[in-house]
Amino acid sequence: MTEFFSQWLPYEWAWGLATLCGILLIAFPLMLAVAMIIYVDRKIWAAMALRRGPNVVGPLGLLQSFADGLKVMLQETIIPSSTSKALFLLAPIVTFTVALMAWAVIPFNGGAILADINVGLLYVLAVSSLGVYGTIVAGWSSNSKYPFFSAIRASAQMISYEVSIGFILICVVLWAGTFNMNGIVLAQKSHVWLLNGFVFNPLLFPMWVMFLISGMAETQRAPFDLTEAESELVAGYQTEYSSMAFALYWLGEYANVLLMCALNAVLFWGGYLPPLDLPVLYLVPGWIWLFAKIFLFFFIFSWVKATVPRYRYDQLMRLGWKVFLPVSLLFVVLVSGWLMYTGHFA
Amino acid sequence: MIQLLAFYLFAALTLAAGALTILSRNPVHSVLWLIVAFFNAAGLMVLVGAEFIAMLLVIVYVGAVAVLFLFVVMMLNIDFAALRAGFIKNFPLGILLAAVLLAEVLMGVGVVQGGALQLGTPDGSAPVPAGTQNIEAIGAVLYGKYLFLFEVAGVILLVAMIGAIVLTHRERKDVRGQNIARQVARRPDEATVNMQPDVGKGVSL
């Protein structure tokens, strides 16, 4: 895109404009996707509970999220008097921004990636580790008990699961031999016979299962939604928030869930590659494959949310530290041992 | 031009955030400013071409260390008046520390200007030959040239970790541990029993 703009502009301006266009090209569809995926989530959840779900606003209730958005936009932003004002308003902005930032390195198609950097996967890790601050700052600046409890829970939870996610990603990186997201996708091409994707590899399949579960814990989705356990903590860290500030948390949460689904697709299921390495399947554009995979994982997330009861906090910590951490560590040893044995690095 | 703008932006923000870390009255705000400083320092690293270090800085310092700082500071019951007290008493020590740090910075600048080190070049260009990735270069050095030192560092960290766990661990006899395997293995018919107790004999208190 930079070349396109540099026909008329000096290089710096063309680069700036191209990057801006790229950001908008990702952010706007993403916002739309978040609005729609909230509707999808409610529909799936309703269907599993034998309810109808949103069906009044627009055809099939498709416009429900937009109606909610409009309503929230028109509400008054209430800032409780005892809050630390600047931080209170900054926290939802941080959450939302960070949720959008990581999309910069997701490859949507062969060349369709905003920032094709060497350390793409590390960038995702770095940005997702920033997400803690939106929560923890919200909990602290609210100056209220339940948000504070929730913030502490959330940050402990996110730190715990980031450790095992890190080790799982190391397995993927060892096999792919690169941190570049595009490189990781391409490394999965016909990985096992004709199958595109690390997940078909017996050594990496357990890693994918753990990554999916860790992703649910990392994004605080059910059954790990202890930070928003309404029976214990009112509404968690967002208790004191109202109107648009609350909506930013809501949107940020779903953008993060979509990101986790996208990471599942990119790291383990071949990203924009079709599931089978057959020439006829490449006729379908790559981004359609990617979106189909994201949707599939989102369905799994919703399915789990609708069916699995909430974990107890000690069970959550036990799963993270006593099960996932040792197992993922073991698999780092297994994978690197196998790769050394087969001369993968030579 | 973009690099220059980005450099001045990151550098100014790092300095400002660093100053505000020291100057803010509330310790939680201090930690948050420190995080801003870390983040902008990572931006500077990217500009030098050390993207791996930049990402590690964010992952390790911002993502883990600073969160723990924030945890501790948030949960302490801090008396702000007590924090202000003792300023005069500690002032000479503070000046001494500041002088030492300033001397270190000046020495560092002098060394880089003198060109004695091969770490980086004064004009900011990366010393790694073009085409080599950061991670590969660092990996080759760490696991090749400095393998022994690297392993020793790992062992020292492991020992420190075990030491910290041993020192702070206490066996608690007064709490009931959770046996997850037993909890999962429980079935409804062994959990609930239907009783027909006589009046006044159903409970043991």
Distance, in Å, from the CA atom of A295 to the CA atom of A40, rounded to the nearest integer, reads 10
Distance, in Å, from the CA atom of A203 to the CA atom of A214, rounded to the nearest integer, reads 18
Distance, in Å, from the CA atom of A9 to the CA atom of A7, rounded to the nearest integer, reads 6
Answer yes or no: do A118 and B32 touch at CB < 8 A: no
Omega before residue A223 within 30° of 0, cis: yes
**Nearest alpha-carbon partner for A207 in A334, A338, A331:** A331
Q: Report the residue from B51, B62, B133 with minimal CB separation from A130.
A: B62
Distance, in Å, from the CA atom of B88 to the CA atom of B98, rounded to the nearest integer, reads 15
**Nearest alpha-carbon partner for A32 in A69, A74, A7, A79:** A69
pLDDT band at A299 (very low <50, low <70, confident <90, very high): very high
Answer yes or no: do A122 and B178 touch at CB < 8 A: no
User: Which residue type sits at B114?
Assistant: G
Number of helices (H) and strands (E) in chain A: give both, helices first. 13, 0
Q: Environment class of residue B198 by beta-carbon count within 10 Å: exposed (0-12), middle (13-18) or buried (19+)? A: exposed
Q: Which residues contact A52 (CB under 8 A, 6 or more apart)?
A: A46
A330-A107-A173 Cα angle (round to 5):
20
The residue of chain B nearest to residue A155, with distances taken between CA atoms, is B67
The predicted pLDDT at position A330 comes to: 93
pLDDT tens digits for range A225-271:
887 777 777 777 888 888 888 888 888 889 889 999 999 999 998 88
The predicted pLDDT at position B128 comes to: 54
Answer yes or no: do B67 and A12 touch at CB < 8 A: no
pLDDT tens digits for range A5-44:
777 777 777 888 888 888 888 888 888 889 889 999 999 9
Rounded to a whole number of angstroms, the CA Rg of chain B reads 28
Report yes or no: A277 and A189 within 8 Å, Cβ to Cβ.
Answer: yes
Token match 């208790």: residue? A239
Chain A residues touching residue B176 (CB < 8 angstroms): none
A318: closest CA of chain B, how far (Å): 9
Q: Report the residue from A126, A132, A137 with minimal CB separation from B55.
A: A126
SS3 B118: coil
Q: Environment class of residue B160 by beta-carbon count within 10 Å: exposed (0-12), middle (13-18) or buried (19+)? A: exposed
Distance, in Å, from the CA atom of B66 to the CA atom of B33, rounded to the nearest integer, reads 10
Q: Report the residue from A16, A136, A179 with minimal CB separation from B70.
A: A136
The predicted pLDDT at position B152 comes to: 94
How is A95-152 classified by DSSP, letter by letter? HHHHHHHGGGG--SSSS--S---TTHHHHHHHHHHHHHHHHHHHHHHTT-HHHHHHHH
Chain A residues touching residue B135 (CB < 8 angstroms): 118-119, 179
Chain B residues touching residue A122 (CB < 8 angstroms): 52, 55-56, 59
Answer yes or no: do A159 and B135 touch at CB < 8 A: no
User: Which residue type sits at A317?
Assistant: M
How many other CB atoms sit within 10 Å of the CB of residue A116? Answer: 15
Q: What is the pLDDT along chain B (205 residues), one digit of tens a residue?
A: 777 888 889 999 999 999 988 888 788 888 889 989 998 999 888 888 788 888 888 888 888 888 888 888 887 776 666 666 777 778 888 899 999 999 998 888 887 776 655 555 555 555 556 566 778 778 888 888 888 999 999 999 999 999 999 998 888 888 887 788 888 888 888 777 777 878 877 676 6
- Distance, CA of B51 to chain centre: 18
How is A2-37 classified by DSSP, letter by letter? HHHHTTTS-HHHHHHHHHHHHHHHHHHHHHHHHHHH
Angle between helices A11-48 and A243-268 (to 10 degrees): 90
pLDDT band at A329 (very low <50, low <70, confident <90, very high): very high
Distance, in Å, from the CA atom of A121 to the CA atom of A172, rounded to the nearest integer, reads 10
Answer yes or no: do A132 and B178 touch at CB < 8 A: no
Q: Which residues contact A168 (CB under 8 A, 6 or more apart)?
A: A207, A210, A211, A214, A328, A331
Mean pLDDT of A82-101: 86
Answer yes or no: do A315 and B180 touch at CB < 8 A: yes
The predicted pLDDT at position B88 comes to: 76
Report yes or no: B141 and B135 within 8 Å, Cβ to Cβ.
Answer: no
Report yes or no: A125 and A214 within 8 Å, Cβ to Cβ.
Answer: no
Answer yes or no: do A136 and B58 touch at CB < 8 A: no
Q: Which residues contact B119 (CB under 8 A, 6 or more apart)?
A: B112, B127
Q: Report the residue from A12, A84, A155 with minimal CB separation from B71.
A: A155
Answer yes or no: do B58 and A159 touch at CB < 8 A: no
Distance, in Å, from the CA atom of B11 to the CA atom of A185, rounded to the nearest integer, reads 36
User: ipTM of the predicted structure?
Assistant: 0.79
Q: Which residues contact A214 (CB under 8 A, 6 or more apart)?
A: A161, A164, A165, A168, A320, A324
Distance, in Å, from the CA atom of A268 to the CA atom of A214, rounded to the nearest integer, reads 14
pLDDT tens digits for range A143-194:
888 888 888 888 888 888 888 898 999 989 888 888 888 888 888 887 778 8
The residue of chain A nearest to residue B3, with distances taken between CA atoms, is A12
The residue of chain A nearest to residue B71, with distances taken between CA atoms, is A152
pLDDT band at A346 (very low <50, low <70, confident <90, very high): low
Probe site for chain B from A117, A136, A315 (most B CB atoms < 10 A): A136
| Binding-site residues on chain B for chain A (CB distance < 8 A) | 1-2, 26, 28-29, 32, 35, 42, 51-52, 55-56, 58-59, 62-64, 67, 70-71, 74-75, 133-135, 178, 180
Answer yes or no: do B62 and A314 touch at CB < 8 A: no
Chain B residues touching residue A12 (CB < 8 angstroms): 1-2
B52: closest CA of chain A, how far (Å): 7
Which secondary-structure segment (H or E) carries A235?
A: none
Distance, in Å, from the CA atom of A177 to the CA atom of A193, rounded to the nearest integer, reads 19
Answer yes or no: do A16 and B2 touch at CB < 8 A: yes
Q: Environment class of residue B148 by beta-carbon count within 10 Å: exposed (0-12), middle (13-18) or buried (19+)? A: exposed
pTM for the structure as a whole: 0.83
The predicted pLDDT at position A209 comes to: 92
